[in-house]
């Protein structure tokens, strides 16, 4: 039995936990502190929201939708449409994550630990989606 859909589900929960934490703090109007000290700068920057929507909310929607796709993939792991959708959705997530990390490093000049966790989770999800694509023909 192919376990990659279940690994995708588990990794989705990491992303949900990370972005839910940030979304909760944003809702309360509090900026969480972090070990590397750049979170305050990044989360208070003008780039922390797009069209007035905080990136933590968008990330939460992304990971919840990813979880739904992973659950569907666990039900039907051979579905070519679901496998392709998962791969495309994961690729979009990892590209946005790379863009956000580059923006933090080169434009904002600070790095956020929680954003890094989200980027690493997106990369993990992409790797798992590629792995599932390759092992199911």
User: What are 13-70's pLDDT values in tens digits?
Assistant: 999 999 999 999 999 999 888 888 888 999 999 999 999 999 999 999 999 999 999 9
Residues 54 and 26 sit within 8 Å (Cβ to Cβ): yes
Average pLDDT in the 67-93 region? 95
The yes-or-no verdict on residue 103 having pLDDT over 60 is yes
Give the pLDDT score at 68.
Answer: 97
Q: Tokens 């796709």 sit at which residue?
A: 69
Dist CA 113 CA 131 (whole Å)? 27
What is the number of alpha carbons within 13 Å of residue 116 lying toward its C-beta?
Answer: 13
Give the pLDDT score at 16.
Answer: 98
Q: Tokens representing 86?
A: 């998962």
Count of structural domains within the chain: 1
Q: What angle do CA 40, 35, 123 make, to 5 degrees?
A: 85
Give the pLDDT score at 72.
Answer: 96
Q: Tokens representing 116?
A: 């890094």
CATH of the domain at 54: 1.20.1440.130
Give the pLDDT score at 86.
Answer: 95
Q: What range defines the domain where residue 39 resides? A: 4-135
Residues 45 and 104 sit within 8 Å (Cβ to Cβ): no
Percent of the chain predicted with pLDDT > 70:
99
Q: Tokens representing 91?
A: 């690729």
Dist CA 114 CA 65 (whole Å)? 20
Closest CA to 42 of 120, 90, 102, 94: 102
Q: pTM value?
A: 0.93
């Amino acid at each position: 039995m192919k376990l990659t859909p279940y690994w995708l589900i588990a990794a989705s929960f990491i992303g949900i936990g990370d972005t839910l934490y940030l979304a909760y703090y944003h809702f309360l109007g509090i900026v969480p502190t972090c070990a590397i000290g750049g979170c305050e700068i990044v989360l208070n920057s003008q780039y922390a929201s797009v069209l007035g929507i905080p990136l933590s909310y968008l990330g939460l929607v992304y990971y919840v939708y990813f979880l739904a796709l992973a659950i569907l993939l666990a039900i039907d792991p051979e579905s070519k449409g679901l496998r392709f959708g998962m791969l495309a959705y994961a690729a979009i997530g990892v590209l946005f994550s790379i863009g956000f990390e580059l923006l933090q490093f080169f434009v904002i000049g600070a790095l956020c630990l929680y954003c890094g966790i989200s980027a690493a989770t997106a990369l993990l999800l992409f790797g798992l989606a590629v792995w599932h694509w390759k092992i199911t023909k």
